[in-house]
């Protein structure tokens, strides 16, 4: 009776552990079997191949020792002679495995402790695997939990069927939690870890706010209103861009709610964070103007190639547009994905006047024309001598006071000027000892060759060995100030992408790397 009671107790323990840890009962039984097998090996020898088996219905424990049938026994712990094997199994052959039943035994104190460690470890691994499998597909959801403990500013949360962590930098500033507090947070990452929590939560993630709006605004949940982008300065201010798929529903009004009830619920959850709800627009200029609310915008100038935009505001609106510590313009930039430069009307007018004078003087010097004619060309929107040289003659002839002959003469003078400049650069390049083959690298101009020569880049190999920062420069923070270091090509308009492409082309030409398959195919097609 004592034995049967022990068996029953074994199954009850397995059931209790499986329920508590929310894992399969068979996993607990398997860990117990491994523990008994380990204890048996410590009793019968570490080399002995022992397997334990617990009957899931009766709780009966059976121990087996597996022996390999051989002609000549070298290791009695793992091998058995064919004569001894045939006494228990007459059909035994060399190479077979014989299962020898072992008598049950009582675990000693040390063996019991060791068995406990094995069981605890196996159960913990199973629990962590279950947590990972349960939450790996829940990235992007909001979960509710209870604060378990706070460690060094990090909050450990109990989610009921798992344990998660909110790191200190993922919490809203000045936010304090105590054990037992209920908290809502955003699941931004779930990954396998050997120890500690595997579920990582955030209350500062931009999508946390988007999900809160989804919970508060039925139209967002139903897909009638879409949240296009979110930008947050956690604990202080946020901007959210929304658009309605139904023209009869105002997206901003729906998110605000009756007397601000919907947006207020989100604000309360985010510890009083001020939220600007912005109507999204497909037109970049309109969207950026909306994003800079509450500041008024007079004019915008877009540069789509570099994703930059210049915004002109009235003089008295400058501080409002920038915001406290640059907060408003920074959030607007994050929301829209554009770099925003803010100018006052006075600054913009001054700069425009300065550019006009510079262009006028450049045209006078290059084309050998009087001031009136140079001003006329500048006022027509021509920015450089290159534009004048390669524009359609008809476009120049259409300028008031110009005819076909005047236009042709101006273009000839522009091309002559460019040819002289090119010849001067080429002569200077040769004087500096820059190799001719460097001219063949895609993207390299004669002016760049002079700059390269002045910075001791004289061969294709020299250019191939450069980094992007060497060409375009870089910035560093020193003593709270940003210090700009110029590159070799300082003064020449060149993006980082163009610099990278130039360096890669030099490395291909130098034979350091192979040309990308697509580029190689295009070159062969051209040939």
Residue 148 belongs to what H/E stretch?
strand 142-151
Residues in the chain: 527
pLDDT over threshold 50, residue 1? no
Q: What is the pTM of this model?
A: 0.61
pLDDT over threshold 50, residue 488? yes
User: What would the mean pLDDT of 177-186 be, rounded to a whole number?
Assistant: 91
DSSP string covering 28-39: HHHHHHHHHHHH
Please state, in angstroms and rounded to a whole number, the distance separating the CA atoms of residues 220 and 213: 7
3-state class (DSSP) for residue 423: helix
> Which pLDDT band, with edges at 50, 70 and 90, does 371 fall under?
confident
Instruction: Fill in the DSSP letter of residue 346.
Output: H
Q: Which of 55-69, 222-236, 400-414 has the lowest mean pLDDT?
A: 55-69
Instruction: Fill in the DSSP letter of residue 515.
Output: P
Please state, in angstroms and rounded to a whole number, the distance separating the CA atoms of residues 181 and 149: 10
Instruction: Fill in the DSSP letter of residue 75.
Output: -
Structure tokens at 138: 């829940």
What average pLDDT does the chain have? 80
Q: Select from 57, 61, 5, 3 the least CA-distant residue to 34.
A: 61
User: What would the mean pLDDT of 440-446 be, rounded to a whole number?
Assistant: 85
> Which pLDDT band, with edges at 50, 70 and 90, does 182 fall under?
very high
Please state, in angstroms and rounded to a whole number, the distance separating the CA atoms of residues 524 and 520: 6
Domains in the chain: ranges and CATH: 2-130 (3.30.1480.10), 136-204 (2.40.50.140), 434-527 (1.10.150.20)
pLDDT over threshold 90, residue 387? no
Question: Which one has a higher pLDDT value, 37 or 506?
Answer: 506
Please state, in angstroms and rounded to a whole number, the distance separating the CA atoms of residues 60 and 492: 84
Residue 3: the pLDDT is 38
Residue 36: the pLDDT is 73
Q: How many CA atoms lie within 13 A of 293 on its CB side?
A: 15
Which neighbouring-strand residues pair with 102? 63
Question: Which one has a higher pLDDT value, 2 or 244?
Answer: 244
Under 8 Å between Cβ of 146 and 181: yes
pLDDT over threshold 70, residue 107? no
Residue 4: the pLDDT is 39
> Which pLDDT band, with edges at 50, 70 and 90, does 397 fall under?
confident
Question: Which one has a higher pLDDT value, 2 or 471?
Answer: 471
Q: Select from 494, 495, 519 the least CA-distant residue to 507.
A: 519
């Amino acid at each position: 009776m004592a034995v049967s009671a022990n068996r029953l107790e074994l199954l009850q323990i397995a059931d209790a552990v499986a329920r508590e840890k929310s894992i399969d009962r068979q996993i607990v039984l398997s860990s117990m079997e491994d523990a008994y097998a380990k204890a048996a090996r410590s009793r019968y020898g570490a080399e002995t191949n022992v397997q334990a088996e617990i009957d899931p219905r009766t709780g009966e424990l059976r121990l087996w020792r597996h022996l390999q049938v051989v002609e000549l026994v070298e290791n009695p712990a793992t091998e058995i002679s064919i004569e001894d094997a045939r006494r228990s199994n007459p059909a035994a052959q060399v190479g077979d495995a014989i299962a020898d039943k072992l008598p049950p035994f009582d675990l000693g104190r040390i063996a019991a402790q060791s068995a406990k460690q094995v069981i605890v470890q196996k159960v913990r691994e199973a629990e962590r695997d279950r947590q990972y499998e349960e939450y790996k597909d829940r990235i992007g959801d909001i979960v509710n939990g209870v604060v378990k403990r706070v460690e060094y500013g990090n909050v450990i949360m109990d989610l009921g069927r798992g344990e998660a962590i909110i790191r200190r930098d993922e919490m809203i500033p000045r936010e304090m939690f105590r054990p037992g507090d209920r908290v809502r947070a955003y699941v931004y990452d779930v990954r396998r870890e050997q120890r500690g929590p595997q579920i990582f939560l955030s209350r500062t993630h931009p999508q946390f706010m988007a999900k809160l709006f989804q919970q508060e605004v039925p139209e967002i949940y139903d897909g009638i209103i879409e949240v296009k982008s979110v930008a947050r300065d956690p604990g202080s201010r946020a901007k959210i861009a929304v658009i309605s798929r139904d023209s009869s529903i105002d997206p901003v009004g729906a998110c605000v709610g009756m007397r601000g009830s919907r947006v207020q619920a989100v604000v309360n959850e985010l510890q009083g964070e001020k939220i600007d709800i912005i109507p999204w627009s497909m037109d970049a200029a309109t969207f950026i103007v909306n994003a800079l609310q509450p500041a008024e915008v007079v004019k915008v100038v877009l540069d789509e190639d570099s994703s930059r935009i210049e915004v002109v505001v009235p003089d008295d609106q400058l501080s409002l547009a920038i915001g406290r510590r640059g907060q408003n313009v920074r959030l607007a930039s994050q929301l829209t994905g554009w770099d925003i430069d803010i100018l006052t009307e006075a600054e913009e007018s001054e700069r425009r006047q300065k550019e006009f004078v510079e262009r006028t003087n450049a045209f006078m010097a290059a084309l050998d024309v009087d001031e009136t004619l140079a001003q006329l060309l500048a006022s027509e929107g021509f920015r450089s001598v290159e534009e004048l040289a390669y524009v359609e003659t008809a476009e120049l002839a259409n300028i008031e006071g110009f005819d076909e002959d005047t236009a042709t003469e101006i273009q000839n003078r522009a091309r002559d000027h460019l040819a002289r400049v090119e010849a001067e650069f080429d002569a200077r390049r040769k004087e500096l000892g820059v190799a001719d083959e460097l001219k063949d690298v895609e993207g390299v101009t004669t002016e760049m060759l002079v700059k390269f020569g002045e910075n001791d880049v004289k061969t294709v190999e020299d250019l191939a060995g450069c980094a992007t920062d060497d060409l375009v420069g870089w910035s560093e923070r020193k003593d709270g100030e940003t210090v700009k270091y110029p590159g070799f090509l300082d003064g020449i308009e060149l993006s980082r992408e163009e610099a990278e492409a130039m360096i890669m082309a030099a490395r291909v030409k130098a034979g350091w790397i192979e040309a990308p398959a697509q580029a190689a195919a295009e070159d062969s097609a051209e040939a």
